[in-house]
Every structure is written in structure tokens, then in C-alpha cells.
Amino acid sequence: MAFLDHIDACNRHDLNRFRPFIVGGRQVGWVRGDIAWHLEEYEAVFAVTPDAVHLQRHLSEPEARSQAVDQVCRALHAKWQTPPLRGERYRVARTWGEEPVMTMDRGVVSLFGVRAFGVHVNGFVRDGERLKLWVAKRAPERAVAPGKLDNLIAGGQPAHLSLRDNLIKEAAEEADVPAALAQTARPVGVISYCVEDQWGLKPDVMFCYDLELPPDFTPRNTDGEVESFALMEVDEVMARIRDTQDFKANVNLVILDFLIRHGVLCPDNEPDYAAIAHGLKRGW
């Protein structure tokens, strides 16, 4: 294992297997060939060509687009066991700052290869000059990455919230962090990657935050998604990232960014330093 292996693992994809997904004349995602084939049947909603999957032009309003796609996805799930809707809406847009062309259920964004946004928070404690990181262990029954190590707080970005409000909501649910404390989290940058999952493509953008916690604060999970928390020496975290796959795949990237920004990973000691720093932005 090496640090760069985690970056490679989060960027495995072959766009030759995908067709652009186009809404209102603009590409906002990618659809895998076999999924495009399933979509041909729903020609009131999709115009499928050998080169692209278009949302039909008569669907010109965000609300109508969102409802039509939901309906197809429910039918696909019933017929082909594609993922079910999960009841949480994501924005569909190329960038976070752009006006979304529609929303889409969280469960099916990879079917359409739509960019998903999220917030990740490294919770840390200072011990003199040394840093410690609060690390969550995901519950064993979670659908994604059961039992893997995770950031203190992380969550996908619902359509209707600001990033800051989402962070405060997730902080309460996942780690029982009071709003006033969560409010002190500092935005520190953004990471991106692009990986294939079972159904399609995940071109993800993660907004990263640092949250310095008082030494007497202990996180406590309130929504059942975390089995336990541990406060780890930053050097131990770095060694486990380098040598193991204990962390959820994309969390390795968020922590590598932390290690670089805090001078734990150093350019005079790590030959891959610049490649790692650049690799954290590969999926753009």
C-alpha cells in the first residue's frame, strides 16, 4: 500500500462505457451503456441515442424533470432491481455555484453519473504541538462501507440546505456536536474524485472542514450510523492510511488533505508529496 493507491482507488473509471447525460442542452452527468439501454423504454422522459442520453426537451422545468426521472427510477427499481429512491434530494448541476437544472434522489445519482456534493469534517484535538483526530467506526449494518473508519462528521449535501447548515445537522446526528461548537468548523478546501460504482459513475466533490474540539468533548452517535469513536494520534492515523484499507475509501483522501495542510506530511520526506496533493483534485 502507498498513499497514492487510495487516490487511484477513488478514481477508477472508464468513460468509454458511458454516454453523456444531457438536460436542457447541457451535460450534467454520465449514463452507463446498459442503463441507457434500460432507459430507451421510457421515451416520454428520455431520448436515447448511441452518443448520449437526453432528458426530453418538453421537460423544461426543474420540478417536472425531477418528478419524471423519479417515476422512471421507481419503475427501473421494480423491474431491474436498480437502487431504490431514498427520499433525500440532491441538486443536479455541474458546479456547486451553478443554478441546478433539477433535483435527483440521492439513491440514483450514480445511475446518471451526476456530480454529488458532500461535507466532511476532520474533528481534531491539540495536545501541545501534537494533533489527535477523532475517528468514527461505521456501524456494521450500514449499506456502504460497514465497519470502516470514517471522519467525525460526513454527509451528502441535500438540495435545500447551505453547506454550513448541513454540517450543523450532520454534526448533531452523527456525533452529538452542539450547534455552537459545530459552527466553529472552518472550511479548508475541496476534494474531488470520480469512481465507478455498481450502477454507474460517482464524480464526487467533498467540501472539507476542520473542527478543533476541546479536550473534554467526547462525540456520541445519535442516529445509529456509528458504532464507536476513538481519539487517535495523528501519526497512527497516517500509518493506518498508508498501510491498510481500514478507512472508507474516500475518507483516506480527506485525511491526506488534513495531513498535508497541517504539515504532518512533508515535501522533504515524502517523494509523492506533490502527486498526492494534486491527486486529491483528480475528479474535476
Interface residues with a copy of itself (CB under 8 A) are 95-98, 162-164, 186-190, 192, 205, 207, 260-263, 265-268, 270-275, 277-278, 281, 284
Q: Which CB sits closer to a copy of itself, 174 or 204?
A: 204
For residue 97, the minimal CB distance to a copy of itself (Å) is 3
Minimum distance from residue 60 beta carbon to a copy of itself (Å): 24
Cβ nearer to a copy of itself, comparing 73 with 256: 256
Q: How far is the CB of 283 from a copy of itself (least distance, A)?
A: 9
Give the end-to-end CA distance of the chain in Å, rounded to a whole number: 25
Rounded to whole angstroms, the Cα distance separating 9 from 25 reads 32
Q: Is 131 exposed, middle or buried (0-12, 13-18, 19+ CB in 10 A)?
A: buried
**Residue 27 CB, nearest approach to a copy of itself (Å):** 17
| Axis crossing angle, helix 234-243 with helix 249-261, rounded to the nearest 10 | 130
Q: The cell 452523527 sits on which residue?
A: 174
Cα–Cα distance between 246 and 96 in angstroms, integer?
Answer: 30
Helices and strands per DSSP (H, E), number in the chain: 8, 13
| DSSP result, 136-201 | EEE-TT-SSSTT-EE-SEEEE--TTS-HHHHHHHHHHHHH---HHHHTT-EEEEEEEEEEE-SSSE
Task: Return the number of the residue (164 or 242) whose C-beta is nearest a copy of itself.
Answer: 164
Give me the least distance between CB of 266 and a copy of itself, in Å please. 5
Between 200 and 283, CB nearer to a copy of itself = 283
Task: Name the residue nearer to a copy of itself (CB basis): 42 or 96.
Answer: 96
Shortest distance in whole angstroms from residue 205 CB to a copy of itself: 6
**239 versus 275: smaller Cβ distance to a copy of itself:** 275
Shortest Cβ 166–a copy of itself spacing (Å): 10
Do 153 and 211 contact (CB within 8 A), yes or no? yes
> Residue 190 or residue 249: which is nearer to a copy of itself going by CB?
190
How far is Cα 172 from Cα 117, in angstroms, rounded to an integer? 19
